[in-house]
């Protein structure tokens, strides 16, 4: 059943005309802007046939054709679409995935559209997937990123080495444990995808952990709405500096979209700078920050596993936090990591679906 065309405001319809004068043929690109349309645009006449409605507008006498299918697909009361917000995601606790980590094999991911789509669906709905069988060779992580998107080059280079350094500027490059965090919160825009590829992991320790930050924020909201609100409204500065670099960005720990849905988590105790708030609000901020951290660090939240050589974990760095346990200094452990972005992954998945491949998640 479709709505009568009169349920759509005239200016909205006029703006969305897709005739060859309004949209450049062969593209989806509009040729007009809002200031080209009369503010008093109204519907002068309607002609209806089986598949479509033809609307004649006043005062410009323009004729537009809208199919019933198009009108139905653009209902004005449909949920506000944002594929990055919490309600587009499948939130999880460790126990939900402990026996079913979304995983695939790199050769299949590379060669089979259906496997690539399944991996990307897991990334976009659960926040991560694991690939096994990635060659244990220098730079292989870049080939994984390039198979579905574009590598985000940073001051660390195209890729970064995660191994013990003598004088680490980043604790990731030591053998210390690292608590759950998102990477590079001191960047704006933040890298939205991170990859970590294991080349060697013979150390005693050095196990990996992943936490669904959206699920943790939703738990905080249910348990302590005032704390959730405070973290969503308080800007925090994150910073990274070394000899050649000085980066900082100021954003809340919990980022919301314009209608209040959880959309982005930034959480990194190492790079957080002193909080700037009136003195009488500091205690409440610290209490809320602690409460959120307790949820993120809990055993229920953290999915633990061990990266073996040839494994590459790909995750949404705006949602899923990663961690590792400490290991014996000098124990051989070497990962290579790189960053990429979610827009490329969404695009790749959309194009794969266009090819009418039956994706594994299609029945959901």
Residue number, 156 or 285, with CB nearest to ligand OGA: 156
- Which stretches of the chain bind ligand OGA, using CB under 6 A? 162, 172, 178, 183, 208, 322, 324, 335, 337
| Helix residue spans in the chain (DSSP H) | 10-15, 68-73, 94-97, 106-111, 113-125, 140-146, 213-223, 225-233, 279-296, 342-354
17 binds, among ligand OGA, Zn ion, none (CB under 5 to 8 A by kind): Zn ion
Q: How far apart are CA 192 and CA 316, in angstroms?
A: 6
Least distance between ligand OGA and beta carbon 160 (Å): 7
**Residue 316 contacts Zn ion per CB under 5 A:** no
Least distance between ligand OGA and beta carbon 154 (Å): 12
Residue number, 41 or 201, with CB nearest to ligand OGA: 201
Residue among 210, 209, 207, 211 nearest 308 (CA) = 207
Site string for Zn ion, 18-47 (x = CB under 5 A): -x-xx-------------------------
- The answer to whether the peptide bond before residue 7 is cis (omega within 30 degrees of 0) is no
**Residue 55 contacts Zn ion per CB under 5 A:** no
Q: How far apart are CA 115 and CA 103, in angstroms?
A: 10
Residue among 153, 192, 156 nearest 173 (CA) = 156
Residue number, 70 or 285, with CB nearest to Zn ion: 70
19 binds, among ligand OGA, Zn ion, none (CB under 5 to 8 A by kind): Zn ion
**Residue 17 contacts Zn ion per CB under 5 A:** yes
- 210, 224 contact by CB (below 8 A): no
**Residue 320 contacts Zn ion per CB under 5 A:** no
Q: How far apart are CA 265 and CA 187, in angstroms?
A: 13
DSSP code, position 168: -
List b or e across 169-189, with b for residues whose CB sees 16 or more CB atoms inside 10 angstroms. Answer: ebebbbbeebbbbbbbbbbee
**Residue 140 contacts Zn ion per CB under 5 A:** no
Least distance between ligand OGA and beta carbon 290 (Å): 22
Residue with tokens 């003195």: 279
**Residue 118 contacts Zn ion per CB under 5 A:** no
**Residue 183 contacts Zn ion per CB under 5 A:** yes
Least distance between ligand OGA and beta carbon 190 (Å): 13
Binding-site ranges for Zn ion (CB under 5 A): 17, 19, 21-22, 183
């Amino acid at each position: 059943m479709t709505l009568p065309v009169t349920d759509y405001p005239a200016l909205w319809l006029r703006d969305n005309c897709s005739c060859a004068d309004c949209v450049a043929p062969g593209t989806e690109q509009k040729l007009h802007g809002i200031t080209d349309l009369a503010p008093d645009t109204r519907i002068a006449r309607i002609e209806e046939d089986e598949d479509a409605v033809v609307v004649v507008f006043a005062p410009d006498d323009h004729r537009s054709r809208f199919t019933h299918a198009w009108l139905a697909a653009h209902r004005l009361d449909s949920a506000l679409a944002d594929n990055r917000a919490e309600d587009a995601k499948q939130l999880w606790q460790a126990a939900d995935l402990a026996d079913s980590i979304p995983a695939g094999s790199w050769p299949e991911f590379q060669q089979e559209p259906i496997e690539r789509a399944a991996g990307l669906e897991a990334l976009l709905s659960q926040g991560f997937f694991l690939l096994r069988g990635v060659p244990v060779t220098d730079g292989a992580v870049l080939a994984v990123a390039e198979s579905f998107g574009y590598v985000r080059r940073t001051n660390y280079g195209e890729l970064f080495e995660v191994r013990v350094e003598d004088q680490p500027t980043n604790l990731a490059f030591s053998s210390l444990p690292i608590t759950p965090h998102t990477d590079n919160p001191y960047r704006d825009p933040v890298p939205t995808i991170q990859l970590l590829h294991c080349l060697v992991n013979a150390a005693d320790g050095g196990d990996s952990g992943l936490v669904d930050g959206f699920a943790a924020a939703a738990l905080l909201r249910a348990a302590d709405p005032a704390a959730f609100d405070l973290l969503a409204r308080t800007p925090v500065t994150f910073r990274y500096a070394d000899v050649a670099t000085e980066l900082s960005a100021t954003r809340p720990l919990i980022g919301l979209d314009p209608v209040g849905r959880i959309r982005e988590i930034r959480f990194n105790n190492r790079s957080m700078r002193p909080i700037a708030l009136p003195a009488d609000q500091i205690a409440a901020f610290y209490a809320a920050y602690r409460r959120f951290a307790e949820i993120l660090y809990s055993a229920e939240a953290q999915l633990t596993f061990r990266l073996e050589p040839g494994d590459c974990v790909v995750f949404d760095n705006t949602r899923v936090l990663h961690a590792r346990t400490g290991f014996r200094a000098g124990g051989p452990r070497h990962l290579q990591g790189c960053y990429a972005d979610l827009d490329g992954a969404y695009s790749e998945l959309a194009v794969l679906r266009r090819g009418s491949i039956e994706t594994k998640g299609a029945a959901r």
